Every structure is written in C-alpha cells, then in structure tokens.
C-alpha cells in the first residue's frame, strides 16, 4: 500500500488533534495537595538529614587526617546543618518559581 | 519464618579474592549484569525491524528515547543533549534494577546504599569534570557565589562544599529508601498470609495491589533519579 499525500495530511490532522486532546486531559488533573505535600516533606527531611550526615562524615575524615579528634567532627556537623538548611532554601525557592510559572 | 530483611543480604556466588580484597561476584552483581543484559537485549529485539513508521515493538524504545530527550531538553537545555547517552543508560539501569527486583526470588541492587551511592558518585564526578571543562577556574565560584563579602568566605565555603557533596547523598537515599520500604512491606504482609489461616486471602489481595503500586514506584523513582541527575548536570553547565 502506497501512501498518498492525502493520507499523510489526514494522519497529520489526527496527530495534532490527539496531541491537543492529550495536553488538555493532562491539564485537567493537577497534582493533589496531599501527594505534593508528602513528596515535598519527604524531600526536605532527607535534605536536612543528608547535610548533617555528610558534614559529620567529612569532619570525621578530616579529624583522622589532622589528628584533632573530636573538634572538626563537631564543627562540621554544625556546618552540615547549615548546608542542609541552605539546600532546603534553594529547593523551596525553585519550587516557588516553578509554581508561579504555571 | 524468614525475616523481612533477609532479602537484602548480599551473598557471593563466585568467590574471588585479589590481594586480600574481596571482589566476589555476588547476587547484587548478578542482577546488575542482568539489568544491563535485559535492557540491551529488549531494546535490540524491539528495534530489530526498523521502519519509518514504527510498529508496536519499535515504538517502545522510541517513546523512552523521546521521554529522556525531553527531560534533558527541559532541565539542561539543548546543549545537554550531548550527555544523552549517559543519562539514558542511567535511567535504563535504575529502571531495570527496580523492576527486576520485583520478581520473586530476585535481588534489588537499588535498595543498597553502596550500589546506588557509587552510581551517584559517578554522576558527581561527571558533574565536576564537565563543570571544570566548561568554566575552567571559574568553576570554583560554585563554592563562593557572587555578592558574598570576602570576610564570610571561611564560613560560606565549607557550607557550600557540604551542600555540594550532600546532593548525591540525598539523591541516593531517596531511591534506596523507597525501594527498601516497598520490599519490606511486601514481605511483612506476605508473612500474615500463613498466620491468618483461612482469612489469608485478605493479605494476598492486599499484596497484589501493593505489587502493582510498586511497579509504578519503581518507574517513578527511576524517573526522579534521572530528573535530579539532569538538574545536577544543568547546575554544572549554568550559573545558579
């Protein structure tokens, strides 16, 4: 079976119609408030925790290198907490920007 | 009854020792090989008859391709398409690792911090190399954003460094936590089947629903992991 230009034109029409219908159906269903809250909460919790843990790990390694146990561990844990808060702040800023765009 | 954590034990299949370092071929390694093999074979099989108008089998890899390409275009921009092979392989590896882990008796390597962590470290190394190549010495600006007084540098630089290093960690934890929780839940509920006797069909029904949900989670987490590595790549290429 050979495709004539007429066939291709009809096919293009069908594709564009289906595409517009698809974007329409996606727009009708915004993310539910609960799933958004759960996702964001989980993300922020991990972000805060990972800052402290990575800071502590870094402090522990540096302590071993310089032989200053336990001071760098303590200091870097606080810095890690700050880094966690910084990550959350950046995440929240981005999230707000993307929400305003919608 | 077996413990719900038993499924996560790494067992050596072919013990290999080189200079006191244990590099045995484990069940974890086996499933990584399987993930690579099945994804490669499946895509190759789907693409065996290439035509301009795709049939059903051919449209599957094409959809995945389009999907990952649009992810890169949205999060990194057109210049990100250069790194498409890396992101595409990573997506397939994580997605197949998650999905194969759902099969009975299978091992889920994406539920291990070390396995996913190594993958994240590769992404981190990739990010650093691209960043240095693109911005040269200006890459160090990542740790001291513009507009910060020099007096604050001793405080800001360590904080930014930890923030930079914690990104792959939080990326890893999210994937690992989701996979681990799902598998533990399946095992615990399956444990109720025998305990409830005649009423055992209730947890079986419940478990079947969870398995469907887990398939969705497996793909969703692979997607999230890929999106975040894309954003990560975008950070290396652009300013904040």
- Cβ atoms of A57 and A80 within 8 Å: the answer is no
Of B166, B173, B174, Cβ closest to residue A83? B166
- Mean pLDDT rounded to a whole number for chain B: 86
Task: Indicate the number of domains in chain A.
Answer: 1
What range does the domain containing A55 cover?
35-101
Interfacial B residues in 154-193 facing A (CB < 8 Å): 155, 158-163, 165-167, 169-170, 173-174, 177
What range does the domain containing B14 cover?
6-237
Q: What is the pLDDT of residue A40?
A: 85
pLDDT, greater one: B140 or A31: B140
On whether residue A10 sits in a domain, the answer given is no
CA distance A84 to chain B (A): 7
Verify whether the Cβ–Cβ distance B159 to A53 is below 8 Å: no
pLDDT tens digits along A37-96 = 887 888 899 889 999 999 999 999 999 999 888 899 999 999 999 999 999 998 888 888
Of A46, A76, A86, Cβ closest to residue B163? A86
- Which chain A residues are closer than 8 Å to B169 by Cβ? 50, 53-54
On whether residue A53 sits in a domain, the answer given is yes
- Across B177-195, b (16+ Cβ under 10 Å) vs e yields ebbbebbbbbbebbeebee
On whether residue B1 sits in a domain, the answer given is no
On whether residue B78 sits in a domain, the answer given is yes
On whether residue A1 sits in a domain, the answer given is no
CB-based contact, A88 to chain B, within 8 Å: no
Phi/psi of residue B11, nearest 5 degrees: -115, 135
pLDDT tens digits along B164-218 = 888 888 889 888 988 899 899 888 888 888 888 888 888 889 989 999 999 999 9
Q: Please, which residues have CB within 8 angstroms of residue B132's CB and are 6 or more apart in sequence?
A: B139
DSSP assignments along A3-68, one per residue:
PPHHHHHHHHHHHHHHHHHHHHHHHH-PPPHHHHHHHHHHHHHHHHHHHHHHHHHHHHHHHHHHT-
Q: What is the pLDDT of residue B97?
A: 92
Q: What is the mean pLDDT of residues A11-22?
A: 86
On whether residue B136 sits in a domain, the answer given is yes
On whether residue A2 sits in a domain, the answer given is no
CB-based contact, B220 to chain A, within 8 Å: no
Verify whether the Cβ–Cβ distance B162 to A47 is below 8 Å: no
On whether residue B17 sits in a domain, the answer given is yes
Task: Indicate the number of domains in chain B.
Answer: 1
- Which chain B residues are closer than 8 Å to A55 by Cβ? 162, 166
Model confidence band, residue A29 (pLDDT cutoffs 50, 70, 90): low
pLDDT tens digits along B27-62 = 888 999 999 999 999 999 988 877 777 788 888 888
B74 three-state secondary structure: helix
Q: Is the pLDDT of residue A28 over 60?
A: no
Phi/psi of residue A40, nearest 5 degrees: -65, -40
Which pair of structure tokens corresponds to residue B72?
């890169």
On whether residue A25 sits in a domain, the answer given is no
- Which chain B residues are closer than 8 Å to A54 by Cβ? 162, 165-166, 169
- Residue B240's nearest CA partner among B139, B105, B107 is B139
Phi/psi of residue B53, nearest 5 degrees: -100, 110
Q: How many CB atoms lie within 10 A of CB B52?
A: 4
Complex ipTM:
0.73
Of A43, A50, A79, Cβ closest to residue B169? A50
């Amino acid at each position: 079976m050979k495709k004539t230009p007429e066939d291709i034109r009809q096919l293009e029409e069908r594709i564009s119609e289906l595409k517009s219908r698809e974007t329409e159906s996606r727009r009708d269903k915004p993310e539910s408030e609960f799933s958004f809250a759960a996702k964001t909460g989980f993300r922020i919790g991990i972000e805060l925790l990972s800052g402290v843990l990575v800071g502590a790990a870094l402090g522990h390694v540096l302590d071993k290198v310089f032989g200053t146990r336990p001071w760098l561990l303590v200091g870097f844990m606080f810095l890690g907490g700050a880094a966690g808060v910084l990550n959350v702040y950046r995440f929240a800023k981005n999230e707000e920007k993307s929400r305003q765009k919608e | 009854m077996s413990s719900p954590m038993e499924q996560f034990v790494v067992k050596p299949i072919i013990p290999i020792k080189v200079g006191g370092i244990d590099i045995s071929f484990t069940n974890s390694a086996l499933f990584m090989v399987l993930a690579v093999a099945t994804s490669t074979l499946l895509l190759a099989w789907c693409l065996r008859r290439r035509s301009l108008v795709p049939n059903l089998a051919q449209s599957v890899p094409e959809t995945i391709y389009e999907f990952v390409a649009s992810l890169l275009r949205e999060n990194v921009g057109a210049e990100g398409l250069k790194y498409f092979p890396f992101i595409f392989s990573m997506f397939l590896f994580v997605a197949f690792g998650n999905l194969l882990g759902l099969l009975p008796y299978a091992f889920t390597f994406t539920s291990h911090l070390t396995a996913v962590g190594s993958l994240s470290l590769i992404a981190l190394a990739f990010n650093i190399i691209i960043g240095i190549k693109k911005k040269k010495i200006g890459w160090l600006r990542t740790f001291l954003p513009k507009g910060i007084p020099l007096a604050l540098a001793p405080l800001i630089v360590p904080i930014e460094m930890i923030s930079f290093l914690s990104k792959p960690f939080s990326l890893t934890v999210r994937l690992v936590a989701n996979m681990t929780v799902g598998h533990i839940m399946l095992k615990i509920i399956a444990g109720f089947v025998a305990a409830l006797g005649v009423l055992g069909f209730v947890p079986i029904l419940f478990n079947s629903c969870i398995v469907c949900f887990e398939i969705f989670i497996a793909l969703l987490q692979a997607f999230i992991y890929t999106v975040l590595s894309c954003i990560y790549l975008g950070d290396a290429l652009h300013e904040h």
